Amino acid sequence: MKKMYFNWSSGKDSALALHYLQQDNEFDIDLLLSTVNSKNDRVAMHGTQAELLKAQAEATGLKISLLELPGQPTMEEYNSIMTNEILRLKALGYEYTGFGDISLEDIRQYRERMLSPMDIKPVFPLWKKDTRALMHNFLEQGFRTVIVAAKADLMGKEFLGQELTKGLLNELPEEVDPCGENGEFHTFCFDGPIFQEPVKFTLGEKVYQTYPNPDKESTQKEIGFWFIDLRG
């Protein structure tokens, strides 16, 4: 079997992609790799605490490597830190890595371009699949997930902390992708076939934060997001 580490974000797409790869029986997956903000020890744009990442890994029976990044890393800083980690994993015998990306071409091209010099082969089990069909399959497989972050100009804070069900999928605004593939929302997956037992957590406070808009041509200088704090 091919030795693989999996890039884990804590959300639904990661969970479903990992499940598909485990069912494939082509890869030996024993490690999750997650990046966390060194300033607050959380997953960027998900806001998930590192302790909950560890709880997810424990529930899957897999090891986890938490890679610390600066609060707002430059691309040069990100690439340097990530390259060092990938080279470390390559030295341990990993030749493949899995991702939960679905349709963003620039993200896939970036990953392939970055990994190619290190001879690590990326695998995208969800690539170009219909996002509504993916979400229905996710739920039919028995996965459970809650919304932990939402883009404020598209979704109100009332969505935070809600479990993503078929009913809630139908309530999402029309312009929101069912998988949130364009960054509309992010989730925390706490139960399903990849877990030996559900990950326990409680819902905390809701907070609003703004970030510089990466689209330099936009008149909107900042983007607002709602987050809910999950506690293990």
Residue 3, classed as helix, strand or coil, is strand
Which residues are CB-neighbours of 175 under 8 A, at least 6 positions away?
154, 184
> Cβ(90)–Cβ(118) under 8 Å?
yes
Please give the pLDDT value at position 215: 73
Residue 131 lies in a domain: no
Residue 202 lies in a domain: yes
Where among 123, 158, 190 does a domain terminate?
A: 123
32 & 117 share domain: yes
> Cβ(46)–Cβ(188) under 8 Å?
yes
CA dist 100 and 98 (Å) reads 7
Q: Which of 124, 123, 163, 169 is nearest to 146 (CA)?
A: 163
Strands 144-151 and 121-123: unpaired
Please give the pLDDT value at position 213: 80
Please give the pLDDT value at position 192: 98
119 & 148 share domain: no
101 & 44 share domain: yes
Please give the pLDDT value at position 31: 98
193 & 100 share domain: no
Residue 26 lies in a domain: yes
To which residue do tokens 């030295």 refer?
91
Residue 178 lies in a domain: yes
Quote the domain boundaries for residue 33. Answer: 2-123
Number of domains making up the chain: 2
Residue 164, classed as helix, strand or coil, is coil
Answer positive or negative: Cα dihedral of 67, 86, 126, 143.
negative
CATH number of the structural domain spanning residue 118: 3.40.50.620
Residues with pLDDT less than 50, the chain: none
Please give the pLDDT value at position 96: 98
Give the other-Cβ count within 10 Å of 212's Cβ: 10
